[in-house]
Amino acid sequence: MSWQPVRDAYSTMSEQYIALFGGDWEAHEDDTALVRDHLAGLDGPVLDLGCGPGHWTAYLQALGADVTGVDLVPEFIGHARANFPASRFRLGSMTELDVPDHAVAGILSWYSTIHLPPAELDRVLAEFRRMLAPAGRLVIGFFDSDDGVTAFDHKVITAYRWPVSEFSARLAGAGLTELQRTRQQFPERPDRMYAAIAARAA
């Protein structure tokens, strides 16, 4: 698929997005614990795919991970490099990295698959699995749904909600076995439900 519409949409809104996440930023403690517990202590490289302004990359790097943030959007990578000079960032698509098979110990995909039309998800999960070493870890965040897979009008560009059980089944189909999940709802966003799954490469 072409990533151009997603890249252009985030590029256009990059200032607003950076204002939200590029400075002080706080995630739910269950989510920071999920990311930390599954990705910070790995022996090998970790990729933060779709890193946006780079806050999760910097979080993992501060915990000692050998992490690289990757994003499609030059404004995000420019901001991330300037804001987090101790961390590594790379401009590119998470589906077109010259990473050999099974070369990566961990992958974080925090809301970077949310804009994929449902028919495209399996192909991207297969690419994550290809890059991961046996027993490598994936932590993936996405919008939760109790009403099937549904598209909605995300502020940047159309996004999709997934029932957690269905997302977990897609992961299993790609050879990624669920280990743990988190689910959140925030009082200021009663219309949204958030989920994340930590999985191990089978």
CB of 124 to ligand SAM, least distance (A): 8
Whether the CB-CB separation of 182 and 196 falls below 8 Å is answered with yes
Whether the CB-CB separation of 135 and 190 falls below 8 Å is answered with no
Residue 96 or 202: which CB sits closer to ligand SAM?
Answer: 96
Is 50 among the residues that bind ligand SAM (CB under 6 A)? yes
Closest CA to 73 of 162, 195, 157: 157
Is 6 among the residues that bind ligand SAM (CB under 6 A)? yes
Is 158 among the residues that bind ligand SAM (CB under 6 A)? no
| Beta-carbon-side half-sphere exposure of residue 124 (alpha carbons within 13 Å) | 23
Closest CA to 141 of 183, 186, 102: 183
Is 112 among the residues that bind ligand SAM (CB under 6 A)? yes
Of 65, 94, 174, 196, which one interacts with ligand SAM (CB under 6 A)?
94
Is 198 among the residues that bind ligand SAM (CB under 6 A)? no
Of 3, 36, 184, 193, which one interacts with ligand SAM (CB under 6 A)?
3
Residue 6 or 105: which CB sits closer to ligand SAM?
Answer: 6
Site string for ligand SAM, 64-93 (x = CB under 6 A): ------xxxx--x----------------x
Whether the CB-CB separation of 152 and 160 falls below 8 Å is answered with yes
Q: Max CA-CA distance within the chain?
A: 43
Cα–Cα distance measured from residue 120 to residue 107, given in angstroms and rounded to the nearest whole number: 19
CB of 88 to ligand SAM, least distance (A): 15
CB of 38 to ligand SAM, least distance (A): 16
Interacting residues toward ligand SAM by CB under 6 A = 3, 6, 10, 21, 49-52, 56, 70-73, 76, 93-95, 110-112, 114
